[in-house]
């Protein structure tokens, strides 16, 4: 069953990988099919295209199956050409779509490679560190309705202890701890909660209920402190992802701005 699943998952992706990956200088031939070479790089790329659960399997354990799939794909492709199936209109349309998709990926990858340099990443890191960051130590009381949250705020205004009220009334998992959420930085809480918490000074509680998808919160900030920034080495992969997404989006937007684009409804009528 395991082998059959891998074969089913790889037939298409292996052909695509073998067709699009350039030969490497040190790239041994691992099989030939009617004189056509299959290279080590084709198999490695095919392994990358497997579903995650199969990528986790050591490549030497599935090497025979991967190689067999590549060989079978070559055989089927050769037979299809001999029968002139590659000249069918349906195939040509499908091939055109695949070519566009591959060209899109290749062009975006080249754009990202040119834009995302070590110098760019270091500059992004320095700019983000210059902005500074702050962490909050906060507590909250989670309630089901706005009226309940308003009643708790009145009790706090009257001098009630926040932690004790949280233990008594909060429906959240932090209730038994007095609503203690510990320290957190920006991006770690849902937006509405984070926005309200960062507006408070240390020692203050929210004056109005804060609504999120979890219910209605009453928040108290216990302490504020400067966050300990991660090193460049610790941040570089996140920065690379951020820069790559920005470069890819900017590239596509630049192309859109120069193009003449018309959109139509599903039935072909102009919008």
Report pLDDT digits (tens) over 88-110: 999 999 999 999 999 999 999 99
Neighbouring CB atoms inside 10 A of 39's CB total 19
pLDDT of 22 reads 42
Q: Please answer whether residues 124 and 242 qualify as being in contact, where contact means their C-beta atoms are separated by less than 8 angstroms.
A: yes
- 97 within a domain of the structure (yes/no): no
Report pLDDT digits (tens) over 50-70: 888 888 888 889 999 999 999
- 220 within a domain of the structure (yes/no): yes
The whole-chain average pLDDT of the chain stands at 88
Q: Please answer whether residues 49 and 17 qualify as being in contact, where contact means their C-beta atoms are separated by less than 8 angstroms.
A: yes
Q: Confidence class of residue 25 from pLDDT cuts 50, 70 and 90?
A: low
**Residue 13 clears pLDDT 70, i.e. is over it:** no
**Residue 10 clears pLDDT 60, i.e. is over it:** no
pLDDT of 20 reads 38
Mean pLDDT of 144-167: 97
- 267 within a domain of the structure (yes/no): no
CATH at residue 139:
3.10.50.40
- 204 within a domain of the structure (yes/no): yes
The residue among 142, 104, 128 whose CA lies nearest residue 186 is: 128
Which of 75, 90, 105 terminates a domain? The answer is: 90
**Residue 4 clears pLDDT 90, i.e. is over it:** no
Percent of the chain at pLDDT above 70?
90
Kindly state the tokens that stand for 59. 């490549």
Report pLDDT digits (tens) over 111-140: 999 999 999 999 999 888 876 678 999 999
Domain count within the chain: 2
- Dihedral sign (CA 164, 165, 169, 170): negative
In whole angstroms, how far apart are CA 33 and each of 25, 79, 82, 244? 21, 12, 15, 39
Task: Fill in the DSSP letter of residue 201.
Answer: P
pLDDT of 6 reads 46
- In b/e form, how buried is each residue of 247-271, taking b as 16+ CB within 10 angstroms? bbeebeeeeeeeeeeeeeeeeeeee
- 259 within a domain of the structure (yes/no): no
Percent of the chain at pLDDT above 90?
73
Question: In terms of domains, do 148 and 222 share one?
Answer: yes
Read off the pTM: 0.52
Neighbouring CB atoms inside 10 A of 207's CB total 12
**CA 52/CA 108 separation, integer angstroms:** 23
- 28 within a domain of the structure (yes/no): yes
Q: Confidence class of residue 227 from pLDDT cuts 50, 70 and 90?
A: confident
Question: In terms of domains, do 162 and 212 share one?
Answer: yes
pLDDT of 226 reads 86
Q: Please answer whether residues 226 and 133 qualify as being in contact, where contact means their C-beta atoms are separated by less than 8 angstroms.
A: yes
Higher pLDDT among residues 271 and 210, named by residue? 210
- 14 within a domain of the structure (yes/no): yes
Which of 193, 210, 226 terminates a domain? The answer is: 226
pLDDT of 2 reads 41
pLDDT of 269 reads 80
- Dihedral sign (CA 143, 144, 146, 148): negative
pLDDT of 132 reads 67
- 169 within a domain of the structure (yes/no): yes
Q: Confidence class of residue 266 from pLDDT cuts 50, 70 and 90?
A: confident
Question: In terms of domains, do 137 and 61 share one?
Answer: no
Query: Could you list the residue range(s) of the whole structural domain that residue 170 is in?
Result: 129-226
pLDDT of 190 reads 95
Question: In terms of domains, do 149 and 64 share one?
Answer: no
Question: In terms of domains, do 133 and 196 share one?
Answer: yes
Question: In terms of domains, do 63 and 144 share one?
Answer: no
Q: Confidence class of residue 147 from pLDDT cuts 50, 70 and 90?
A: very high
């Amino acid at each position: 069953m395991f082998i059959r699943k891998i074969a089913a998952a790889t037939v298409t992706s292996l052909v695509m990988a073998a067709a699009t990956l350039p030969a490497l200088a040190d790239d041994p031939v691992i099989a030939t099919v009617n004189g056509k070479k299959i290279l080590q790089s084709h198999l490695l790329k095919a392994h990358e295209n497997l579903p995650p659960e199969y990528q986790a399997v050591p490549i030497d354990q599935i090497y025979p199956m991967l190689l067999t799939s590549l060989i079978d794909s070559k055989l089927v492709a050769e037979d299809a050409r001999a029968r002139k199936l590659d000249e069918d209109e349906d195939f040509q349309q499908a091939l055109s779509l695949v070519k566009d998709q591959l060209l899109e990926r290749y062009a975006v990858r080249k754009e990202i490679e040119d834009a995302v340099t070590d110098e760019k990443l270091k500059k992004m890191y320095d700019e983000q560190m210059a902005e500074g960051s702050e962490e909050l130590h906060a507590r909250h009381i989670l309630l089901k309705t706005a009226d309940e949250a308003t009643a708790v705020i009145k009790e706090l205004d009257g001098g009630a202890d926040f932690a004790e009220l949280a233990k008594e009334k909060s429906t959240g998992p932090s209730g038994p701890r007095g609503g203690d959420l510990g320290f957190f930085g920006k991006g770690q809480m849902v937006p509405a909660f984070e926005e309200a918490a960062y507006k408070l000074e240390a020692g203050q509680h929210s004056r109005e209920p804060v609504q999120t998808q979890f219910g209605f919160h009453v928040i108290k900030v216990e302490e504020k402190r400067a966050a300990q920034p991660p090193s460049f080495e610790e941040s570089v992969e996140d920065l690379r992802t951020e820069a790559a997404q920005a470069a890819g989006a900017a590239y596509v937007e630049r192309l859109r701005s120069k193009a003449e684009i018309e959109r139509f409804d599903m039935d072909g009528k102009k919008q």
